[in-house]
Amino acid sequence: MAQHGLRERKKQATRRMIADVATGLFVARGFDAVTVAEIAEAAGVSKMTVFNYFPRKEDLYLDRHLDRLRELESVVRDRPAGEPVATAMRRYHHELLAAQHPLSGAIQGVLGFWTVLQSSPALMSRMVEQEHEIAEMLAGVLAEESGDEFAARLTANLLTATITTIFHTAVARIIAGDDVEQVRRDQVAVIDRAFDVLERGIGPGRDLHHSDG
Amino acid sequence: MAQHGLRERKKQATRRMIADVATGLFVARGFDAVTVAEIAEAAGVSKMTVFNYFPRKEDLYLDRHLDRLRELESVVRDRPAGEPVATAMRRYHHELLAAQHPLSGAIQGVLGFWTVLQSSPALMSRMVEQEHEIAEMLAGVLAEESGDEFAARLTANLLTATITTIFHTAVARIIAGDDVEQVRRDQVAVIDRAFDVLERGIGPGRDLHHSDG
DNA sequence: CAGAATTCTAGACCGAGTATAAAATTTGGT
DNA sequence: ACCAAATTTTATACTCGGTCTAGAATTCTG
């Protein structure tokens, strides 16, 4: 019952190796132009083994999803008692940005990442699906807390819409060729603007003057 | 250049016929258990013709998407000058509900519709993708209006989150076995609650007491 | 009715993903 | 160190969605 025997270590290593080999091929030639058979051969492994680790071809590229899902869950679950979800999520996104985390979107690497992503409708579709899974997860956690299924789902969906918009905003600017450092600086305000709208609503009659830093 | 010659009429008829035959098979046996080849044979047509009309198998079932997209676009584009988007969208959804439109979600038929949908991950995935397309469309229209790319995208995503939540709420209750008439009555308040949150935000410090009717 | 344009068809083809059974490897107990 | 059980990997064959091609059938134009 050794949870960390030779077997488990080898599996993790193999998994990483396959994903890395695949990513290399995708970056070089585009997602659709690379077949799973090729990946298997390049990784020195059988096709079945590839599908053994990654149920879909898209998961070879979007393999950080589960980590992200778990991290977002803990942001909500482990926030200080009584703190609004939006507050915790806002803080978390400022931290991502400060740490220059890839998921902040404001980092040089996203250009290559997004290029591959755009090279395949299937990949784009899978990413949208993953965003949907995030919303589902949040809805579940919030429903546990409040018991109000409808409010939980609404909050979860609005929250997800907010964070995907933040991410997409950074990516779009970097794709457009803006200076990464500049984008990174601007994202601070973007995050605050987005969460302000989430918290105060899109309706009229509010004061939206921001002294932009 | 006759836009309505025999050719065009036959094409529309064939398209409807194929979609209807396919839907019948899906309802009877589930989405994944029916192959495109079977659909083609049942419709008395070749496999290529099926893909000629419907680029993906999923589109055979979700073929109202383009209509919905266009309708939502006109809701935003053709709203009274100066009216907030949320107001127009709220009104539209009350109208859908009053007209007992399928897209209100509060109608007997959604049970069968959703059953088929749930029978296939591919179908669910495609629906999520279509919701994403709605958000993209709204973002485009709003960006044209305001010129503020970020605000447009944020509003579009929040708006989409709101309307999908409304729809899903009705569907979930009908799946759960609630009385359709009851759900339909309750949806009036659901729509208003959802748009109230969208307009006023999820933040604290607001009076959320509703006299539920 | 003739010829151009369009649509439909048949058939071969590709790649993702599944099923299965055998081969290779790790594990735990002795 | 060795054996037997459990697990992973492999080879192979298969299904199905989707594309490509060239030609047959149909509709349109004049």
Mutate to test the interface with A, among B90, B150, B169 (most CBs of A within 10 A): B150
The percent of residues above 90 in pLDDT, for chain B, comes to 91
Residue B83 pLDDT = 97
Residue A1 pLDDT = 42
Position B209 confidence tier, pLDDT thresholds 50, 70, 90 = very low
Q: Reduce the DSSP state of residue A44 to 3 states and report it.
A: coil
CB contact, 8 Å: B15 with chain A? no
Please name the residues in contact with A39: beta carbons below 8 A apart, sequence gap of 6 or more: A18, A21, A22, A25, A50, A60
Q: Measured in angstroms, what separates residue B32's CA from nucleotide C14's C1'?
A: 21
CB contact, 8 Å: B187 with chain A? no
Residue A5 pLDDT = 72
Q: Measured in angstroms, what separates residue B35's CA from nucleotide D25's C1'?
A: 26
DSSP, residue by residue, chain B: --TTSHHHHHHHHHHHHHHHHHHHHHHHH-STTS-HHHHHHHTTS-HHHHHHH-SSGGGGTSTTHHHHHHHHHHHHHTSPTT--HHHHHHHHHHHHHHTT-GGGS-STTHHHHHHHHHT-HHHHHHHHHHHHHHHHHHHHHHHHHH--HHHHHHHHHHHHHHHHHHHHHHHHHHHTT--HHHHHHHHHHHHHHHHHHHHH-S-SSS-------
Distance CA A62, CA A26 (A): 12
> Is residue B22's pLDDT more than 90?
yes
Residue B19 pLDDT = 97
CB contact, 8 Å: B122 with chain A? no
And the tokens for B210?
Answer: 């509703």
Q: Cβ contacts (< 8 Å) between A198 and chain B: which residues?
A: 158, 201-203
Mutate to test the interface with A, among B165, B175, B193, B207 (most CBs of A within 10 A): B165
Closest CA to B17 of B49, B56, B58, B48: B49
User: What integer best gives the mean pLDDT of chain B?
Assistant: 94
pTM, full prediction: 0.92
Nucleotides of D under 7 A from a protein CB: 7-12, 15-21, 27-29
Q: How is residue A1 annotated by DSSP?
A: -
Contacts of strand C, CB cut-off 7 Å?
A: A 1-2, 5-8, 10, 34-37, 47-48, 51, 55-58; B 7, 10-11, 14, 44-49, 52-53
Position B203 confidence tier, pLDDT thresholds 50, 70, 90 = confident
Q: Reduce the DSSP state of residue A199 to 3 states and report it.
A: helix
Q: Cβ contacts (< 8 Å) between A162 and chain B: which residues?
A: 154, 157-158
Residue B3 pLDDT = 57
Residue B127 pLDDT = 97
Residue A203 pLDDT = 86
**pLDDT tens series, chain A, 213 aa:** 445 576 788 899 999 999 999 999 999 999 999 999 999 999 999 999 999 999 999 999 999 999 999 999 999 999 999 999 999 999 999 999 999 999 999 999 999 999 999 999 999 999 999 999 999 999 999 999 999 999 999 999 999 999 999 999 999 999 999 999 999 999 999 999 999 999 999 987 554 444 443
Residue B195 pLDDT = 98
- pLDDT tens digits along B144-193: 999 999 999 999 999 999 999 999 999 999 999 999 999 999 999 999 99
> Is residue B138's pLDDT more than 90?
yes
- The answer to whether B158 contacts A155, with C-beta atoms less than 8 Å apart, is no
And the tokens for B47?
Answer: 């496999």
Residue A173 pLDDT = 97
